[in-house]
Amino acid sequence: MTIAEEDYLKVILKLELAQEELHARVTTNQVAEVIQTKPSSVTDMLKRLKEKSLVDYIKYKGIKLTGAGRKQALCLIRRHRLWETFLVEKLGLSWKTVHPVAEQLEHVHSDELLERLDEFLGHPAFDPHGEPIPNGEGKLPGCDGELMTTVKAGKNYTFMGIKEPTDTLLSYLDKIKLNIGSIFHVQDVEAYNGSVELEMGGKVCFLTYDVANKLVVKVNEKHENKN
Ligand SMILES: [Zn+2]
């Protein structure tokens, strides 16, 4: 498989996971938007992937990964997230800089290397951005978190992870010192626009709905509000 083919499988899987509850098939336009290419180029690639039995593609009806395609895509995500964990935890790189490096490393095919890496890291279930790492069988660990858009005023939460981390979002979280594992207290949720007022380590900060909609959090009943 080429790197481009692998990247397509990964993009399709991420789109499928994002709309799983809707039971909708991924569309050519959605893929074109993520890859930033013309829908006609996507169609060409889909035909190639279909020939390899990796996607089930029906013109005008959209795309679905086959079992084999999904397995490959999960393996790529596993490699990517294990490498990111290694780069941050063992080499001390910033969580902002590791993504482009992991984008390259994920295309290194060596089952032995990957299993050793997983073992070396102690079989982590989440990467440094709090995204789930598929295990060796391609199963994603369950996350019982919720999006920050559903938090309730007066409760404490732990920050678990980011949905689709981007450079700018990670820089912003660095700036307000919201790290994976941070515990905060929700003071208010603005009914008008869904912005969240939170208190963390004695500091108050406001998150817009757009930011809250990218953050995964979990109610923290054990902790009093101290950081
Ligand atoms: Zn990444």
The predicted-structure confidence for 47-83, as pLDDT tens digits, reads as follows 999 999 999 998 888 899 999 999 999 999 999 999 9
Please check whether residue 178 is in contact with residue 184, taking contact to mean a CB–CB distance below 8 angstroms: yes
C-alpha 71 to ligand 1 mean position (Å): 18
C-alpha 98 to ligand 1 mean position (Å): 7
In the predicted model, is pLDDT for residue 167 greater than 50? yes
Instruction: Supply the pLDDT for residue 61.
Output: 87
What helix, strand, coil percent values describe the chain, rounded to 5? 45, 20, 40
In the predicted model, is pLDDT for residue 195 greater than 60? yes
Please check whether residue 95 is in contact with residue 162, taking contact to mean a CB–CB distance below 8 angstroms: no
Instruction: Supply the pLDDT for residue 143.
Output: 74
For the chain, residues classed under CATH 1.10.10.10 are 3-65
Instruction: Supply the pLDDT for residue 28.
Output: 93
C-alpha 99 to ligand 1 mean position (Å): 4
| 146-219, CATH topology level | SH3 type barrels. (2.30.30)
3-65: CATH class? mainly alpha
Instruction: Supply the pLDDT for residue 224.
Output: 55
Instruction: Supply the pLDDT for residue 226.
Output: 46
C-alpha 55 to ligand 1 mean position (Å): 23
For the chain, residues classed under CATH 2.30.30.90 are 146-219
C-alpha 192 to ligand 1 mean position (Å): 34
pLDDT tens digits, one per residue of 3-37: 999 999 999 999 998 887 667 889 999 999 999 99
- Farthest-apart Cα atoms in the chain, separation: 58
Count, in order, helices (H) and strands (E) of the chain: 8, 8
Instruction: Supply the pLDDT for residue 93.
Output: 96
C-alpha 147 to ligand 1 mean position (Å): 20
**Hey, what amino acid is at 176?**
I
C-alpha 208 to ligand 1 mean position (Å): 24
Instruction: Supply the pLDDT for residue 67.
Output: 95
C-alpha 75 to ligand 1 mean position (Å): 14
C-alpha 87 to ligand 1 mean position (Å): 11
Please check whether residue 183 is in contact with residue 156, taking contact to mean a CB–CB distance below 8 angstroms: yes
In the predicted model, is pLDDT for residue 227 greater than 60? no
